Structure 1
Amino acid sequence: MPNSISIENLDGFSEDFNKDRANIIAANATMKNGILEAATDYKGVRNIPNSFSVDLKTGKITNQKSSGRCWIFSALNTFRFEIMKKYKLDNFELSQNYIFFYDKLEKANYFLESVLKTVDEPVDGRLYSFLNAGPLADGGQWDMFANLVRKYGVVPKEVYPDAASATNSRWMDEMVTSKLREFAITLRNKALSGEAETALQKEKTAMLNDIYRMLVISLGEPPKTFDMTLRDKDDKVYQENGITPKEFYDKYVGINLDNLVSLVNAPAENKPMNKMYTVKFLGNVVEGEPVHYLNLPIDKLKEAVINQLKDGHPVWFGSDCIKFSGRKDGVFDRDSVKAEQLFNIEYAFTKGDRLMYGDSAMNHAMVILGVNINNEGKADRWRIENSWGKDAGLDGYYIASDSWFDEFVYQVVVDKKYLDKETLGLLDQPLIELEPWDPLGSLAD
């Protein structure tokens, strides 16, 4: 049949493959070492130096381990930088487990509220199926993190260290998610039978009590107050007794979250530039600020990032960390990870096409700590702090080429003061709502 793969086709494919010596060498190298290692171009790696004209120093590399908490780790890493700088500390770490706990609890409530809002949707329809697929996913976005901090504050890691279910979250997620889906059936049925809103909310609160118990058993109960002692490089001591997490944030971190804005570069045909966007049913804290972004050309993102770095502050960002990622050498660079050369193909996607057709989206959040500005005044590489531990990359750090930044960085969070007047004016526009499955709604994990 002309629409099937014939034996003659297979013979032709094999003959074409084996007549080219480069194919045999590529297969031998890849079979032994794996795709990324076989695709690594040593000249490309050598051509991306580990030195930067703007370079911020931070503490020890953190490790999210087998969990999807990169968005929490990277955000808290920007916070700890400010604490270390202000109090002259060699190292400091904030509790990722603390934010993780409340994110799970708030996501449970957000999901059950979404169930009540969609009782008229068919269970097998696209919307409900999407909401039901991963109501308690580990990943998140910047605005979700900011909402948690506004509501709950932060605590030092020593006050609420990682539990086993934080470093490997699969089974906790599995068991809590199953209970949430069961609760969803109950709420839907009662809502469809005409039960009053007050009764439904009372029922939901009882359900959340069960979820809280499951989370405390898995992660431990978060502190409401705590004692703390900090000693700086000059042996000056800062001591607190009975401080709350919100008081600690205000006093020791002190970043005004309302001044931070999320900029994205999504050059897709269905997302005009210089517009504000949000995504339906994307969030965690029901009463919190909606997830929102300003879509700008990539040069505008870079300009804001460089301004913030030069002023001595790191930048949270989201990217596709899978594409052209040389994890062993600590590089994100198309010229260093030559998968196209290895397979003798070419990826001709535009950035917008990758987004539109599901080939790429933000999937990981990290911190930009540095940039190299060349003699022409242009950025040519970026220094990145990751949260995969010190054994990944270059002692936990990565270098991204500027061309990789262009293609695979999707989101940065910067202070408004680093934006020009024209860009600031764009922030006041009404939000354009995107569907829940839009790639801008993908979670960093």
Structure 2
Amino acid sequence: MGSASSKATQSAPEVDSHDSEKPLCQSLADVHITAPLSKDGALILGHVDAWESDIAQSPKLQLSRSILNHSNIREALISRATRLADAHVFNLELDFKTNPITSQKSSGRCWLFATTNVLRYTVMKKLNLSEFQLSQSYLFFWDKLNKANYYLELAIENAELPIDDRLVQYLADELISDGGQWDMVVNLLETYGVVPQPVYPESLHSSLSSPINTLLKTKLREHALILRALHASLKANSALSDVAILAELRAKKEALLKEVYVVMSATLGAPPKSDEPFTWDYYDKDGKPAVWTGTPKEFYKTFAYDKYSPAGSFSLINDPRNEYGKLYTVDKLGNLWGGRPVLYVNTAIDTLKQAVVRQLKAGHPVFFGCDVNQFSDRTLGIMDPALFAYEAAFDVTFGLTKADRLRTTESSMTHAMVISGVHLDAQGRPVRYKVENSWGPDVGEKGYFVMSDAWFEQWVYQVVVPKQLAPRDLVKVFEAGEKVVLPAWDPMGSLA
């Protein structure tokens, strides 16, 4: 990833009130030692008898038993008060609305949809369009092919590690995910540009990616073993230098990658080349026909951004496990070999909120990463930790903090979307956010979700911000490039 590995700092992270930790258990002074019912730790019927006795004394739990054994708990326990509070109404929104609501269908391309949904604001304004999509499958093709190359380069780099080494095993499991991160899409945009969707439209397997992913993973794991065997054979020849060995391995890798390209081009279609012109015919919003000719890189530079370039933007994250005001990366994470590494500046959650409001006031949509399935409802389009009355129904509490969830694999970034509006209170503080999703117009409120501020605090991990709109001290941290390297399996390496 372009820097030497180091351990994450062990000093206590700077926290704000939203990230403060609370103990999950009592202090030793408050603990009353009691004898367990089971001396050997086994579950016995005496436990059930004791629990049933307690439940029999609770009318609330008896009512829950009467209702919830034949009801979907996510439907039965939706809070009416929360539904009413989370209105799809916002007093600060972008002045330009894009169409149509996009759908990633049965694929994990949310990060590419979120990115193209951000970029099309500028494209549509410049070209006077009423409806428009950039080709997500174009970026998907080049990302997948590059991830295959990235994995095989890592196979060469780590060829001397045992096959059952934790890193080798992890990389073989996570080799060509559909997901990605902001810096990875910047690599794609700067290298390949973008094209309108009609120039490289959806195929069955861009919208349904699991069949080709399964096939490609099988081939790539085979390719990695071939390269490991070749490496061992070449190393046994003492007459060969390390440079010669690497050259031979890369030549073999390139021959193997052809198989990947054959599968991808057959199932997705051969994509436009970044430096070859295409012609795009279209209608503007007044019904007037128009035509544009140029390369994908020229289209990107001409139409896809104005003063806030993707390459000039970076990720702010809120990770309470680690020290704030530091730059983090994740080992072995990327898509373009030798490209821009995945970089995060860790900071307090209020800084992420302020970055969102600042961008919306500047008329700029916001790319963000979150754990979308936590306390959210697809039908209502609501994300709110108070949405389901689980604690009241089961007489339990959920005590994990945001840091606890990351430490225990309870949560990570699973989805990327776009914030296009916010509702502010009288003091200018966010109450709720308008979120443009990529699950089609039939999900949520015509494709949009409302995210409460409390949900933002708990399950938003990343906000992308242009340098011009970011706090100066955090821009300096990003530009200094002094990275703390997290292990490859760290939850901050999850791909939205």
TM-score tier by shorter-chain length is over 0.9
Indicate yes or no: 2:83 matched with 1:45. Answer: yes
- Bigger drift between 91-100 and 191-200 goes to 191-200
- Cα root mean square deviation, aligned: 1.6
Q: 1:294 is matched with which residue: 335, 339, 345? A: 345
Three-state SS of the structure 1 residue aligned to 2:314 is strand
CA contact (8 A) 1:318 1:364 kept: yes
Tell me how far 1:431 sits from its aligned partner.
1.1
Tell me how far 1:232 sits from its aligned partner.
2.5
Tell me how far 1:238 sits from its aligned partner.
3.9
Return the alpha-carbon distance in structure 1 between the equivalents of residues 303 and 346 of structure 2.
32
CA contact (8 A) 1:38 1:342 kept: no
Alignment size in residue pairs:
441
Return the alpha-carbon distance in structure 2 between the equivalents of residues 222 and 420 of structure 1.
39
Task: Give deviations 1:400-440, integer Å, cap 9, x for gaps.
Answer: 11111011100011111112322322223311111001111
Change (3 A) 1:154 1:32: farther
CA contact (8 A) 2:146 2:336 kept: yes
Query: Who is 1:198 aligned against?
Result: 247
Tell me how far 1:114 sits from its aligned partner.
0.5
Query: Who is 1:401 aligned against?
Result: 452
Three-state SS of the structure 1 residue aligned to 2:198 is coil
CA contact (8 A) 1:309 1:370 kept: yes
Return the alpha-carbon distance in structure 1 between the equivalents of residues 65 and 122 of structure 2.
48
Three-state SS of the structure 1 residue aligned to 2:465 is strand
Letter in 2 for 1:321: V
Query: Who is 1:143 aligned against?
Result: 183
Larger radius of gyration: 2
Return the alpha-carbon distance in structure 1 between the equivalents of residues 66 and 377 of structure 2.
19
Three-state SS of the structure 2 residue aligned to 1:428 is helix
Three-state SS of the structure 1 residue aligned to 2:479 is coil
Q: Which runs of 5+ in 1 are unaligned?
A: none
Task: Give deviations 1:282-305, integer Å, cap 9, x for gaps.
Answer: 001002100001001111111111
- Calculate percent identity across the aligned residue pairs: 40
Return the alpha-carbon distance in structure 2 between the equivalents of residues 338 and 316 of structure 1.
30
Query: Who is 1:36 aligned against?
Result: 74
Equivalent residues in 2 for 1:139-178 (5 A)? 139-178=179-218
Indicate yes or no: 2:383 matched with 1:383. Answer: no
Change (3 A) 1:311 1:17: same
Q: 1:332 is matched with which residue: 372, 383, 386? A: 383
Query: Who is 2:48 aligned against?
Result: 10
CA contact (8 A) 1:101 1:215 kept: yes
CA contact (8 A) 1:191 1:200 kept: yes
Return the alpha-carbon distance in structure 1 between the equivalents of residues 409 and 305 of structure 2.
38
Return the alpha-carbon distance in structure 2 between the equivalents of residues 433 and 36 of structure 1.
39
Letter in 2 for 1:370: G
Query: Who is 1:371 aligned against?
Result: 422
Query: Who is 1:96 aligned against?
Result: 136
Q: Structure 2 length normalisation: TM-score? A: 0.86
Q: 1:424 is matched with which residue: 462, 475, 490? A: 475
Letter in 1 for 2:54: D
Q: 2:317 is matched with which residue: 260, 264, 272? A: 264
Change (3 A) 1:387 1:27: farther
CA contact (8 A) 2:206 2:268 kept: yes
CA contact (8 A) 1:327 1:392 kept: yes
Letter in 2 for 1:432: V
Tell me how far 1:85 sits from its aligned partner.
2.4
Three-state SS of the structure 1 residue aligned to 2:199 is coil
Indicate yes or no: 2:489 matched with 1:437. Answer: yes
Q: Which runs of 5+ in 2 are unaligned?
A: 1-37, 236-244
Task: Give deviations 1:11-70, integer Å, cap 9, x for gaps.
Answer: 333343354343344345444442321221011110122111111222121111111111
Q: Structure 1 length normalisation: TM-score? A: 0.95
CA contact (8 A) 1:386 1:397 kept: yes
Return the alpha-carbon distance in structure 2 between the equivalents of residues 88 and 158 of structure 1.
17
Return the alpha-carbon distance in structure 2 between the equivalents of residues 29 and 102 of structure 1.
51
Three-state SS of the structure 2 residue aligned to 1:136 is coil
CA contact (8 A) 1:94 1:157 kept: yes
